[in-house]
Amino acid sequence: MKKNSLLFIFLITVCALKLFAQTPVSLNLNTAEAKETISKHIYGHFSEHLGRCIYDGFWIDSTMNVPKHDRIRMDIVEALKKINIPNLRWPGGCFADEYHWRDGIGLRGQRPKMVNTNWGGVTEDNSFGTHEFMELCGLLNCEPYIAGNVGSGTVEEMAKWVEYFNFDGVSPMANLRKQNGHEKPWKVSLWGVGNESWGCGGNMTPEYYSDLFKRYATYARDYPGAPLKKIASGASDWNTSWTEVMMKNVPAGLMWGLSLHYYTLPTGKWGKKGSATVFDEKEYFNTMKNCLGMDEVVKRHAAVMDKYDPQKKVALVVDEWGVWTDVEPGTNPGFLYQQNTMRDALIAGSTLNIFNNHCDRVRVANLAQTVNVLQALILTDKEKMLLTPTYHVFDLYKVHMDAKLIPIRFTSPDYVLGDQNIPAVNASASIDSKGAVHLSLVNLDPSKKITVATALTGIKWSGVQGQIVTSPKFNDYNSFANPDKIRPVKFTGAVKKGDQLNAELPPLSVVMLELK
């Protein structure tokens, strides 16, 4: 071979190496800018009477051979306690607006049965009601978030439910609660006034609902020691006109929070949404693009709220979010049972980063849903139980709860597919009450590792440790045959170089770093 040919090959090789060599992503953090608190309630969850979330999830047959408290499944309780679940929303969802609370109290054998017309048309025996839910929250050591019935209920019905929960004295509802075995009030503060009132909650206009909200909220009383945080039914997705009407029409002080629902659809369509486990890179890319849309959705609604509430007194409550796919083959289409993959873990990490970075306005959020439904934390099959990749992300991110947000300045490299691109990396950071800094990083690129170099201002630290959730394929998942395929492991790709933190993020990874 001639020298010229060898030189040509050498130059081509050098150029290729330069082309594919990676410039580290520069992140800048300054603890002096840590002002806003990341509310622990951003890490809330959702338990609707839907499919096998309550019945055959939290609430099981008394003959099932697993640890139980009454009929509450304790392995689920222990798993949720480990991630410090801060709140649990119940009884819906769409179910909330057909649920009449008095059917779920008193002797279980005497409670009337009901048809769940929203989810599968199944008959429920109401054995899981107010007292059972509050017992569950007590075991979880979490706050209950009650969604009241506006769609098919009455003002009186909700007012008396509030009294049943919260009044410590002599009254018809307090006396009834005592007769049913609970002497002292529970003092529940988080209250949703209806759900999806633009859709399954009554197909209302925002003008009509805003007037209805004022009426219901007026009669939902604050009892001593139990001030209510009343959360109005808010918009779906990009519908900022609903938010505009609510902020304009509802007086300050009556509405503590305004809800927002946004689901990530793999195909972007409600018909054929896409499989939970069988998808190619094009569908993966589209799913992650739709997931990252949450950032713009929150910004648009927050901008409308800022116009009427510049002091940010009204919370944005994203009380339904997550990926929504087609159900698993062979399962009841009304039960919304879907598997949970590495893609779901990346959705969870990315979405929680978005909420953290908007914690000045987003103060409550609820993943849909906790057990056996949609983007679940836990799946069960009779006595078997597994923790999903999404669960493990919540386990990593619990360190952000009630910590101070450290704003991050950086520009992400692109993840490119064809003629489209999205940011490959997203992140959030916080400093806790003990001075420990936590940095959560997500790499969405399925083939490229990405190096980040973090400049830290105002942080005294001597070392770094971390954990990672990752898997070779975006559609890998935990099965009952292999429940630990995806789980957190020690992350060794971060090092201290002078005052700078360098970390190499593998493809398809969620990383949590702690600096001390």
What DSSP assignment string belongs to 384-399?
Answer: EEEE-HHHHHHHHHGG
In this prediction, residue 17 has a pLDDT band, given cuts at 50, 70 and 90, of very low
Tokens at 100, concatenated: 């009449």
Asked whether residue 17 is assigned to any structural domain, the reply reads no
Q: Please report, for the domain that includes residue 113, its CATH number.
A: 3.20.20.80
The confidence score (pLDDT) of residue 252 equals 81
Residue scoring higher pLDDT (147 or 499): 147
The confidence score (pLDDT) of residue 499 equals 85
Does residue 332 sit in the same domain as residue 470?
no
Average pLDDT of span 54-78: 97
Of 352, 382, 402, which residue constitutes the final position of a domain? 402
Does residue 270 sit in the same domain as residue 360?
yes
Of 402, 429, 446, which residue constitutes the final position of a domain? 402
Asked whether residue 58 is assigned to any structural domain, the reply reads yes
Tokens at 401, concatenated: 């709860």
- β-pairing, 72-73 with 68-69? antiparallel
Inform me whether the pLDDT recorded for 171 exceeds 60.
yes
Average pLDDT of span 236-254: 95
Does residue 442 sit in the same domain as residue 478?
yes
Task: Give the distance between the most distant pair of CA atoms in the chain.
Answer: 101
The pLDDT > 70 percentage for the chain reads 96
Asked whether residue 486 is assigned to any structural domain, the reply reads yes
Does residue 384 sit in the same domain as residue 417?
no
Inform me whether the pLDDT recorded for 234 exceeds 90.
yes
Inform me whether the pLDDT recorded for 13 exceeds 70.
no
Asked whether residue 67 is assigned to any structural domain, the reply reads yes
pLDDT tens sequence across 378-400: 999 999 999 999 999 999 999 99
Asked whether residue 54 is assigned to any structural domain, the reply reads yes
Q: Please report, for the domain that includes residue 434, its CATH number.
A: 2.60.40.1180
Does residue 126 sit in the same domain as residue 241?
yes
Pick the range with the lowest mean pLDDT from 416-420, 459-463, 473-477: 459-463
Asked whether residue 11 is assigned to any structural domain, the reply reads no
Inform me whether the pLDDT recorded for 37 exceeds 90.
yes
In this prediction, residue 11 has a pLDDT band, given cuts at 50, 70 and 90, of very low
Average pLDDT of span 466-491: 98
Asked whether residue 10 is assigned to any structural domain, the reply reads no
The Cα 188–Cα 144 span in angstroms is 7
CB 378 within 8 A of CB 79: yes
The confidence score (pLDDT) of residue 8 equals 45
Of 66, 69, 64, 72, nearest to 47 by C-alpha is 72
Asked whether residue 13 is assigned to any structural domain, the reply reads no
Average pLDDT of span 107-120: 95
Contacts of residues 68-73 at CB distance under 8 Å and 24 or more positions apart, as own/partner, are 69/135, 69/139, 70/132, 70/135, 71/127, 71/128, 71/132, 72/132, 72/135, 72/136, 72/139, 73/380, 73/385
Pick the range with the lowest mean pLDDT from 62-71, 99-108, 304-313, 454-463: 454-463
Does residue 462 sit in the same domain as residue 374?
no
Does residue 376 sit in the same domain as residue 485?
no
Global confidence as pTM: 0.94
Does residue 415 sit in the same domain as residue 394?
no
Of 472, 260, 459, nearest to 355 by C-alpha is 260
Of 501, 500, 39, 73, nearest to 256 by C-alpha is 39
Active-site residue numbers? 196, 320
- DSSP 3-state helix, strand, coil percentages of the chain (rounded to 5)? 30, 25, 40
The confidence score (pLDDT) of residue 22 equals 63
Specify the number of domains making up the chain. 2
Inform me whether the pLDDT recorded for 4 exceeds 70.
no
CB 187 within 8 A of CB 226: yes
Does residue 371 sit in the same domain as residue 353?
yes
Domain residues for the domain of 509 are 22-34+406-515
Average pLDDT over the chain reads: 94
Q: How many residues make up the chain in this entry? A: 516
What 3-state class would DSSP assign to 7?
A: helix
Does residue 152 sit in the same domain as residue 52?
yes
Of 352, 378, 402, which residue constitutes the final position of a domain? 402
Does residue 464 sit in the same domain as residue 492?
yes
330: exposed, middle or buried (C-beta count within 10 Å: 0-12, 13-18, 19+)?
A: exposed
pLDDT tens sequence across 401-434: 999 999 999 999 999 999 999 999 999 999 999 9
Does residue 366 sit in the same domain as residue 445?
no
Average pLDDT of span 347-363: 98
The confidence score (pLDDT) of residue 458 equals 87
The confidence score (pLDDT) of residue 7 equals 43
CB 214 within 8 A of CB 155: no
The confidence score (pLDDT) of residue 293 equals 98
